[in-house]
Amino acid sequence: MKRAALYVRVSTDQQTVENQTRELRQVAERRGWEVVEVYSDAGISGAKGRANRPGLDRMLNDAKRRKFDIVMSWAIDRLGRSLIDLLGTIQELEACGVDLYLDQQAIDTTTPMGKLVFQVTGVFAEFERSMIQQRVRAGLSRAKAHGTKSGKPIGRPPVDAALERKAQRLLEKGTGILKVAKSLGLGTGTVQRIKQEMRGISRPLEGVAA
């Protein structure tokens, strides 16, 4: 007799998993499968990943321990709504040697035809991973072409030329870095850099004048 685990999920606290559980138990009884465990995520969106779905996480961990032979769920969207997460869940079950039954989609991988699901999902999972990698590489290439890294400008933002000349004149008069920065609304680091460039030195200043 096959050992079956039920995975049931609803998105809101106002819904109940009882209907799903009852229907799946009836299917298991008709097929001669013994329900050994019920895993539930009540009030949790299917868009959330495994880390935020304790029922799903416990079910997949128990699948690795071969505590059951097949996972039964009401519909494919009960397992997940994110394609990459959904494919990952199905592939993990296959890797554990655990079959999958989805009532509403009439998917049963205990049958020869149903086993095609595992093969097809493997192809789609690889395709999805490839597309994600391509989008990441394209994004980095665009960022590099525009002088940015991860979408953020590289280096300091430019200082207005007129403002920089005012800072230079004040510094030439002997005004301290802090006073120049405060009067012109510049950062002390920016004023310090301007002073360094005026002196033509590359080493940091040893002190900051008041």
Residues designated catalytic = 11
Neighbour tally for 32: CB within 10 Å: 9
The one-character DSSP state at 13 is: T
Tokens of 146: 């525009």
What is the rounded CA–CA span in Å between residue 197 and residue 199? 5
Beta strands in the chain (DSSP E): 3-10, 34-42, 70-73, 99-102, 107-108, 148-149, 152-153
Could you tell me if 72 and 101 are in contact, meaning their C-beta atoms sit under 8 angstroms apart? yes
Residue 36 has φ and ψ, to the nearest 5°, of -105, -15
